[in-house]
Amino acid sequence: MERFGESVPPDILLALHRLGLSDVFRADGHCRCPGSMSLWGRNKPGYNDFILNPIGPAWHIDRPRFEMMLRTRAQETGASLWTATRAIAVEDADDGFTVTLQHRSHGTQRIRATWVLDATGCAAWFARRHGATRRTHDRMVAVVRLATIGSGTFTAQTLLEATAQGWWYCARLPHDRIVTVLVTDQRQARGYLLNDYAQWRELLAGTTLLAPRLDACRLDEQRFRTYPVTSAMLDRVEAERWLAIGDAASGLDPIASQGIFKALADAADATEVIAAAAGRRAQPAWSYTERVTARFEDYLANRAYLYGLERRWADAPFWRQRAMV
């Protein structure tokens, strides 16, 4: 299934530089994003430009190509890549764990692991089996339309627009693709999925920033997906010989555009911890839990600030709920 998450901040280059991938990323055909235009908290458009950012622009990425770059780099450094495989059982051992893996067509295999990184997304499969629980701050749904631009042009800027039902996001992606997203409450989203997303399309037609620009294009190959949007963090992101990273450790609202960057930051910190435990690096002056928690608390503060700016629909269910959160 296609993944949701196509925007990354300028700081992504710092994370990729640590992996020796910043030049590969720049040459890989991703779209530079000079900034964003938004209708949020007022009826006049606001702008956030990266022209003065010393790192450069933000990016709208080709998600499959981005993930292939990371997988290739992992294999180049000695990692074994197993596809069509999932973990189905785990047993604790004196020196780590025994994990049972199931391949789609080749059956099961048991492997020994001295350390485990749980990167299973919001399922947090391994961490939950070792006593971790997820503390949820907010739940929403993203209704996503991916399409191909058959004709016309579209801005390189990210478009954001708040409405009574939630907020919209739209961006042009590599290969003449375009993504349009409505983030809304779970109950409201159910109605938007009916009759070939007719109500979703009707709400989009009523937007001020998005609709006129999308109407200037002919969109082909339209397909929809829905994704849960959860702000949550595990109560325990590490224990003896295991750590949770990325969405397994904490889930972020896409309004932050930090999900991919945060996952790479978690992974880099986890590498420091494991290397120190193996005696290959000095013990870091910080704890992994402290770093993950600090990032999540900064995110919650910034998210509360952003939602607090929008007061035009204070009595609408979506915005009233965000105010309570």
- Closest C-alpha to 219, from 156, 254, 184, 172: 172
In the predicted model, what is the mean pLDDT of residues 95-113? Answer: 94
pLDDT of residue 323: 87
Confidence of residue 106 (pLDDT cuts 50, 70, 90): confident
pLDDT at residue 2 in the model: 59
pLDDT in tens, 295-307: 999 999 999 999 9
- Determine the pLDDT at residue 5: 66
CATH architecture of 117-325: 3-Layer(bba) Sandwich (3.50)
Strand 96-103 with 58-60, pairing: unpaired
Please write the tens of the pLDDT for every residue from 49-60. Answer: 998 899 999 999
pTM: 0.92
pLDDT tens digit sequence for 15-54: 999 999 999 999 999 999 999 999 999 999 999 999 889 9
Strand-pair category, 96-103 with 85-93: antiparallel
- Dist CA 147 CA 171 (whole Å): 11
What's the sign of the alpha-carbon dihedral 147, 152, 156, 157? Answer: negative
31-33 and 58-60 beta bridge pairing: antiparallel
Q: Per-residue pLDDT for 107 more than 80? A: yes
- Sheet with strand 58-60: strands edge to edge: 7-8, 58-60, 31-33
* Per-residue DSSP letter, 257: -
Which pLDDT band holds residue 190 (cuts at 50, 70, 90)? Answer: confident
Question: For position 142, what pLDDT does the model report?
Answer: 96
Quickly count: other Cβ atoms within 10 Å of residue 126's Cβ.
22
* pLDDT of amino acid 6: 84
> For residue 244, what pLDDT band results from cuts at 50, 70 and 90?
very high
| 55 contacts 78 by C-beta, under 8 angstroms | no
- What are the Cα distances from residue 282, in Å, to 14, 243, 292, 315? 22, 18, 20, 53
**pLDDT mean over 68-73:** 96
Whether the CB-CB separation of 183 and 140 falls below 8 Å is answered with: yes
Q: Do residues 304 and 322 lie in contact, with contact meaning Cβ atoms separated by under 8 Å? A: no
For the chain, the domains span: 82-114, 117-325
Instruction: Kindly indicate the confidence band of residue 193, based on its pLDDT and cuts at 50, 70 and 90.
Output: confident
State the Cα–Cα distance between residues 223 and 232, nearest whole angstrom.
28
Q: CA distances (Å), 216 to each of 149, 161, 201, 238, 243, in order?
A: 10, 18, 15, 50, 48
Tens of pLDDT along 274-293?
999 999 999 999 999 999 99
b/e map 31-68, b = 16+ CB within 10 Å = bebbbbbbbbeeeeeeeeebeeeeeebbbbbbbeebee
Residues 6+ apart with CB under 8 A from 282: 276
Note the pLDDT tens digit of each residue in 259-269: 999 999 999 99
CB 100 within 8 A of CB 112: no
Q: Which residue has the higher pLDDT, 156 or 194?
A: 156
Helix (H) or strand (E) holding 261: helix 259-277
Please report the pLDDT score of residue 4 as a whole number.
63
How high does pLDDT run on average in the chain?
94
Q: Are 28 and 62 in contact (CB under 8 A)?
A: yes
